[in-house]
Structure 1
Amino acid sequence: VYGADELLEAALEGRADEAVEILTKDPTLIQIGDAVGDTAFHVAARAGHETTISKMMEFLDMNNHVKILRDALCEGNAEGDTPLHLALKNGHLDAATLLARNEPSVIYQFNNDEKTPFDLAQQAGYQDLCIRMERVGRHKQLFLPSDIQLGLAAARGKLSVIAQIMEDDAYQDIIRYKDNTDCTALHMAAYHGQTKALKMIDELMQSENSFKKLLLGVDRYGNTPLYYAVDGNKENTAIYMVKVAPRATYKANNQGESPLCLAIEKGYLDLVRAMTGMGLDRSIRKHLLSHAKNVSIAHIALEKRNLAVLKAIMEGLPELIDSPNNKGWKPLSYGAYNGCYDEICYIVQEFPEYVMIKDNDASRKDVAPDFTPIDATMYKLIVEGKLDDMLKSQVSLEKLKCKEYENSVLHIAAGSDILKLILDNHNELIKLVEDDGQSPLSYAAFKGHIEGVQYLLNKFPKFAYECDKEASFPIHKAACSGNVEVIQKLHMTKNLLNKKGQSILHLAAKYGKSKLVLYLIKMPELARLINLKDEDGNTPLHLATRGLHPRAVYILTRENRCNTKLQNKKGLTALDIFEVHVDSFPTFEARLTWMALRYVDAPRSSQSIRKGCYKQLQRVRKQKNKANSVKELDGFKKRVDTHMLVATLVATVTFAAGFTLPGGYNQSDNDPNIGMAVLPDRWPFKAFILCNTAALYSAVLCVVILIWAHLGDLKLILVSLKFALPLLGFALVMMSLAFMMGIFVVLRTVPWLSYVVLCMGCTFLFGVLLFFIPLYNPSSIKNSVVRFFFSGTFLLLLLVCEKSSITYA
């Protein structure tokens, strides 16, 4: 609005005459505030410009704008502060005195922090101002209706005012008065913790039941005075109100939250004891128990991890131990699920008979899992996705909910203190686990719970020599997860084999646990395991190759004691396993696995054996992948299109470079070599021509080969890609060399720059060759010196592969 900003600026800077001049044009500008709701009075009060405030008030009063003046002085900003609030907050005593004298009704006006100017004056120690405020404020209150006076007096604890108002014959109507939010004087007294005011109102009322009825009254949001007391952190006042009107304890508001729920959330121990104590009337206790079950107050205490409050609840309402929440969880299961160790200790000690009681009967399986408290930890692990895919395939979430699986779930808690608590108090439960055939030690070893493994070994050492339904011992589970520390704990069983005749080295290699493989092959007492065959004749190297674990294969093949010539019962070596089972275009990990085998000259078996196994495997693949053949063909076509696009770009660039030679053409009319290249005798120019020509024809030949791949035959596509990829790689290398030579030859006048370009080009070209040769044709590197040279590249690629696996796992 025009003029409002000018008025605010004048008030801020204390230009009183300019502010009055602006108001003469439009007095309503005094009511317009800035972005935070500050009017000119607010701005002047904050800055302490007493003269500006006085002149603006005088102008508005003298020109019959009294209503505008009063509204402006009573107006609160975004924080609810009036000009009087701001003057006191900023320590401007003279400005505050002026404002309080001209508008006394503001003295007891609350801001958003429930502070009045009188409160601020008291906090600041302005004793004289407080005396003046009480005088003018009391005088002003005489003109307020009695119902409003009672609310203010109750909030401030003015007992004499309350007594004076209650002497009126119409006090019953006054006490029931509600403000714009339907709050009564009792709500205000409760929120501000005025217990004495509440007691006086109770004493002055002729009927005790009438006061109790008022305590059960609610505002527009359904909140009782007791809720206000708890919300305002006035615990002592709330305790008094509970004793007078205990029914208010479980009276819920529009959001379904009762004073009892709020007290538990805030952790008011004495108040919770008063609300749930043993001395309650039978009828009240019945309704309180019903409400406590509906809102699951025990679960609220568990969620807040408040053991003292939980004890108070259970002492007063022990029936809640068997009460589930809306998801079907009883307190003990809920605490186990959330890892509330201290609270679980208390419940197990006080209510041991509930340890094995299920949460719901069979009729309520659609509502919640049919769990015992011991089962809760397993449910949590599955919900949070902490079980790996292998375990999930054995125990799915649906089976878990219906309790159809046979294995006990006690082993899932093997890594938590809850397991120790349960077994220490109920040692007989371990027999249930043994009957189910699954050892808790096996799972603790699999998950790497060192403390759980040590605890179970000390308490039940025989578990180390007991196998599960898969005939695997705990040390085999540890090998599957690659946990070296657990293997060390179970070292006494390191020579045990599972039902497939596999050792811990077999399993570590099978699942690609390279750190464990390295640890095991360095142990002299386990040397026989390196070439040990399982019931299928597979060595650890066979299994690592079949699982495409390049790091494990690399570690095993670098071990001198590892025999790469060993064949399994099908007559296949480790290299045969790879070539038979891997597709024509292997993954990055598969290529690295192949490189690891080829770098040590891993041999093949006879061709007839490999062909027989390959044909048998192909028949199985065709039966399984008929539906995916079209999808596979589309994938190869996309590869062909991508390579053709790159080859076409290379051909285009090199073709253009052939007609835009470095140094240009001879354009002199008198020169007999007009139209010829300027630098044909220089060796870099010759190298440019050769490399550019080689790149062009290689790219063109690559495009022609890939055109054949568009005929749609899968076998033709594979053959085309096999020949096209090396050609494309060669074209890229030649194009890079041509660029390097072209730049080098035209920079002869700047020798240092030309050689820098040459060094940069050679460095990057060396990197391209280093990565290109082993990837596209690893089997051609037969010389041991060359293999050693490229082993650095292999290790770098292996590191990249492992980092990618961690990132995208």
Structure 2
Amino acid sequence: MAGALCTPVNLGPERVTLSDELLHVLTSGDAVHFNELLSSGGQSNGHVTVNVGVGPTTATSSSCLLGVTSNGNTALHLAASRGHAELAAPICERAPTLVATRNRCLDTPLHCAAKAGSRDVAASLLARMRGAGAEEEMALSARNRAGATALYEAVRHGRAPVVDLLMAEAPEMASLPTHDGFSPLYLAASIDDPDMVRALLRPSQDGTPSPASFSGPEGRTALHVAAASTKEIAEEILSWEPVGPSLLTEVDSSGRTPLQYAVLYGSFHVVQLFLDGRTSEQLRIPDNHGLFPVHTAAMVGRASVIDELIKKCPDYYELVDEGGRNLLHCAVQHDKGSVVCHVCQNDKLEMLLNATDDDGNTPLHLAAKHGFPRIVSLLLQKTSVETCITNKDGLTAADLCGRAIAPRRLHYFLNPHCVVRKCLYWLRARVTLDGYHPQYVEHIESFRKKIEGNEDETSNKEDDDMINNGRHGTIASVLIATVAFAAAFTVPGGFIADDHPSAGTAIFAKRFAFRGFVVSDTMAFVCSIVATCFLIYGAKKVPRKHRLWYHALASGLVPVAVCFPGIWIPLHLGLPKAVWRRAGWRGLVNVYGRPSSLREPFYCFTRSLLFDNLRRPFFIVLISTAFIAAVALNIVLPNY
């Protein structure tokens, strides 16, 4: 019987096709012309009149009424899809079998009426399908090729009046999801339509709860998707007794509860709703990776949500993921400075600061390993954070940072790992022998001699690396110098012609913008030329200690020629405060003990935080002073 519903109408050995005249009438909704066609007897456009059985009696109708289009649509499909209720009613009366007929997409006329949003047509179809027979009853729950019922199509197209009608007349349709597991309730919640959710969850007239299904794809429920939308929809689902409250502990294929989704999408009011007067069991349900809701809140940077969660879960500090990481570990690993700052400012959360994971890493270990200068500065501003704790491999935070830099041999000042390592160096954080990368272990002694300037012979590999780096820096500085030099002769706007007054001068010479261009171009040219001289002079025959100084000076001059302060300033924010709190002025100038010679304090100061943060601003002040002088000259000597 179900197979019969899937086949188009056939009369005799050949399928009847709807006439062009009837198609025009059905699409236009001309009820008068339609009744004339139905009342015409004998023959109509070459079609012979046949009898269609209706119960114990027979009704005479034209055979063209039982025809189909090329897509298998009957006359009732066409009338329903266009919302012509005045045509659908007589068609149902004269050819009642059409209410259960499907087109090639397996849509019944009720599907078409639901898509069109025609409540009157849907009401006529439901009146004919209810109690007409087993075949018509089955057509109520029929699914089309997409696996959707008429109710699902009404929800998908946003037809609220049809949804109200179907839930009043055939509420069992709400319990039928698609082949992919999408229920009408899940779809209504996902498109953020509270009216449809309310209609789908409305109890029947006899007071029985709604039979709606809450299923969704990948094991999610309607409450999962409601957690990511509005509080109103979540409230409607939770008030659905007795099913709604039980959905709080349902997990999807990834092991996440609706609370996890609310936290993940930052729905603070939904989180409060889920926690208000309800069981705390949902707070202790981890996902497939062992992450609890408090971990998810830390990973997405929701400090306010964390406060709400720990109010209901006093043992939050014991909740760790599969790697033994607490919420602060997760916040550090995902570079969420707002959460780290919140934890550091809350004394109640202090037990998280030095907690270790299964690898023995503290939050400071992870921040140093991944190279997060802001996270490191926030942690170090808290003096209770220990810098000497070793993990299970015997490595401190400074060791992990050093290992991240060593294989690259890249000590560029914008490298975040270099910023972290310098900060730990200024605080004299402990570095173990195992902290050096394996390729550096055999060169520890030569590295010490290199710093002291007492090494005469070095490895060829280190010399080759320095020469290669010098070549790259030389290319960059020469390119900058070339562009700056060319810009000085091809000034913006050009020069005044020889047959005019002040011939040979720049056209925009009296404008402030031009003077700013001259200052900027001069600074770029001077810095790049000086850097080029240092790099060229740092040849292999020059003593190693001299080459180190040349490369260090060049690496500081080249960025000044091209880098805006906004690039490197954010990396250093918070570091002076951390160093001052832990080491005072000694940490700022990098001098902790009594110097043994005059060279030692000078050497330490040139590698101190104070010097590192003053040398680059010096050039900024220099450029700013030049611009101020240009403004003053522009005011005092406007015609100069």
Q: 1:512 to 1:329 in 2, by over 3 A?
A: closer
**Amino acid in structure 2 at the alignment position of 1:303:** R
Paired residue for 2:430? 605
Of residues 292, 297, 307 in structure 2, which corresponds to 1:488? 307
Q: Percent identity?
A: 21
Matched, 1:239 2:57: no
C-alpha distance in 2 between matches for 1:301 and 1:721? 75
Q: Which amino acid aligns with 1:454?
A: Q
Instruction: Summarize the Cα distance change of 1:504–1:264 in structure 2 as closer, same or farther, 3 Å threshold.
Output: closer
Q: Deviations over 1:682-733 (max 9, x none)?
A: xxxxxx99x989966853774798999xxxxxxxxxxx99976854664787
Aligned-partner SS, 1:699:
helix
Distance 1:228 1:437 in 2: 46
How much does 1:478 deviate?
2.7
Check whether the contact 1:695–1:732 (CA below 8 A) recurs between aligned residues: no
Determine whether 1:285 maps to 2:139.
no
Shift of 1:255: 7.2
Return 5+ residue gaps in structure 2 as ranges.
Answer: 1-16, 43-48, 52-59, 444-465, 488-520, 542-546, 574-589, 591-603, 619-640
What is the correspondence of 1:179-218 to structure 2 with a 5 Å cutoff?
182-184=19-21, 186-203=22-39, 205=41, 209=51, 211-218=61-68
For residue 621 of structure 1, what is the aligned residue in structure 2? none
Change in 2 beyond 3 A, CA 1:204/1:791: same
Give yes or no for the alignment of 1:453 onto 2:289: no
Q: Give 1:578's aligned residue.
A: 401
Structure 1-normalised TM-score?
A: 0.46
Q: Is structure 2 residue 372 aligned with structure 1 residue 554?
A: no
**Contact 2:119-2:162 within 8 A present in 1 as well:** yes
Q: Secondary structure at the match of 2:318?
A: coil
Give the letter for the 1:282 counterpart.
G
8 Å contact kept, 1:770–1:790: no
> Does the 8 Å CA contact 1:542/1:577 hold for their aligned counterparts?
yes
Map 1:489-504 onto structure 2 (within 5 A): 489-492=308-311, 493=314, 496-498=317-319, 504=327
Measure how far apart 1:578 and its partner are.
0.8
Aligned-partner residue type, residue 376 of structure 2: V
Is residue 271 of structure 1 aligned with residue 126 of structure 2? no
| CA distance in 2: counterparts of 1:284 and 1:528, whole angstroms | 69
The residue matched to 1:454 in structure 2 has which SS?
Answer: helix
What's the counterpart of residue 72 of structure 1? none
Taking the TM superposition and a 5 Å limit, the aligned residue runs for 1:85-484 are 182-184=19-21, 186-203=22-39, 205=41, 209=51, 211-218=61-68, 224-227=74-77, 229-230=79-80, 233-249=83-99, 259-277=109-127, 278-279=129-130, 281-282=132-133, 285=136, 288-289=139-140, 293-294=144-145, 296=148, 297-313=150-166, 320=173, 325=178, 327=180, 329=182, 331=184, 341-346=197-202, 355=213, 374-375=220-221, 416=234, 420=238, 424-425=242-243, 427=245, 441=259, 444-445=262-263, 447-457=265-275, 458-464=277-283, 474-484=293-303
What amino acid sits opposite 1:215 in the alignment?
L
Confirm whether residue 646 of structure 1 aligns to residue 496 of structure 2.
Answer: no
Shift of 1:517: 1.6
CA distance in 2, matches of 1:315, 1:344: 10
Q: CA–CA distance in 2 between the matches of 1:769 and 1:190?
A: 69
Give me the whole-angstrom Cα distance separating, in 2, the residues matched to 1:431 and 1:769.
47
CA gap of 1:725–1:304, structure 2 versus 1, over 3 A, is farther
Counterpart CA distance in 1 for 2:427 and 2:416 is 14
Across the aligned residues of Structure 1 and Structure 2, the Cα RMSD in angstroms comes to 5.8
1:211 alignment partner, SS class = strand
Q: How far apart in 2 are the matches of 1:497 and 1:570?
A: 24
Deviation at 1:648, TM superposition (A): 5.2
Shift of 1:496: 2.2
Give the Cα–Cα distance (whole angstroms) in 2 for the partners of residues 219 and 243 of structure 1: 21
Q: Distance in 1 between the 2:164 and 2:241 partners?
A: 23
Distance 2:37 2:213 in 1: 50
What is the letter of the counterpart of residue 302 of structure 1?
A: V
1:242–1:248 CA contact under 8 A, matched in 2? yes
1:123 counterpart residue number: none
Deviation at 1:345, TM superposition (A): 1.8
- Distance across 1 between alignment mates of 2:226 and 2:121: 33
For residues 247 and 563 of structure 2, the distance between their equivalents in structure 1, rounded to whole angstroms, comes to 68
Q: CA deviation at 1:460?
A: 0.6
Structure exhibiting the larger radius of gyration computed from Cα positions = 1
- What amino acid sits opposite 1:342 in the alignment? R
What is the distance in 1 between the residues matched to 2:344 and 2:478?
A: 51
Alignment partner, residue 419 of structure 2: 595
Q: TM-score, normalised by structure 2?
A: 0.56
Separation (CA, whole Å) in 1 of partners of 2:331 and 2:262: 17
- Among candidates 340, 345, 358, match of residue 517 of structure 1: 340
Q: Measure how far apart 1:514 and its partner are.
A: 0.8
Q: What is the distance in 1 between the residues matched to 2:529 and 2:617?
A: 32
For residues 791 and 531 of structure 1, what CA distance do their matches in structure 2 show? 35
**Structure 1 residue identity aligned to 2:123:** R
Corresponding residue for 2:462?
none
8 Å contact kept, 2:105–2:145: no
2: CA distance, partners of 1:262 / 1:587: 68
Aligned CA distance change for structure 1 residues 605 and 325 (closer, same or farther; 3 Å): closer
Structure 2 letter corresponding to 1:195: A
> Alpha-carbon deviation of 1:343?
5.0
Q: 1:694-705 residue pairs with structure 2 within 5 A? A: 699=532, 702=535
Give the AA of the match of 1:548.
G
Aligned to 1:753: none
Deviation of 1:547 after TM superposition, in Å, equals 2.9
Is the contact between residue 195 and residue 240 of structure 1 (CA under 8 Å) also seen in structure 2?
no
- Which structure has the highest helix share of the two? 1
Local SS of the residue matching 1:299: helix
CA distance in 1 between partners of 2:226 and 2:373 (Å): 34
User: Structure 2 vs 1, CA of residues 299 and 443 (structure 1 numbering), >3 Å: closer, same or farther?
Assistant: closer
The structure showing larger relative contact order (alpha-carbon pairs under 8 Å, at least 6 residues apart) is 2
Residues 534 and 550, structure 2, Cα contact 8 Å, conserved in 1: no
Asked if structure 1 preserves the Cα contact closer than 8 Å seen for 2:249 and 2:281, the reply is no
1:537-576 CA-partner distances (Å, limit 9, x unpaired)? 5443233222322221122234455454555565544333
Unaligned runs of at least 5 residues, structure 1: 1-177, 360-368, 387-412, 619-635, 658-687, 709-719, 737-763, 794-809
Q: Give SS of 2:89's match.
A: helix
CA distance in 1, matches of 2:344, 2:616: 21
Q: Is the 8 A contact 1:502 1:533 kept in 2?
A: yes
Q: 1:191, 1:225 within 8 Å by CA — same for their partners in 2?
A: no
Q: In the TM superposition, what whole-angstrom CA distance separates every residue of 1:602-639 from its partner, at most 9, and x where no partner exists?
A: 324255242377879x9xxxxxxxxxxxxxxxxx9999
Q: Matched residues in 1 for 2:199 and 2:160: separation?
A: 6
Alpha carbons 2:467, 2:540 under 8 Å: kept = no
Q: Is 1:540–2:363 an aligned residue pair?
A: yes
CA deviation profile, 1:625-677 (whole Å, cap 9, x unmatched): xxxxxxxxxxx9999986564355468789999xxxxxxxxxxxxxxxxxxxx
Q: Is the contact between residue 482 and residue 513 of structure 1 (CA under 8 Å) also seen in structure 2?
A: yes
Query: How many angstroms apart in 2 are the aligned matches of 1:496 and 1:421?
Result: 32
What is the CA–CA distance in structure 2 between the aligned matches of 1:723 and 1:467, rounded to whole Å?
56
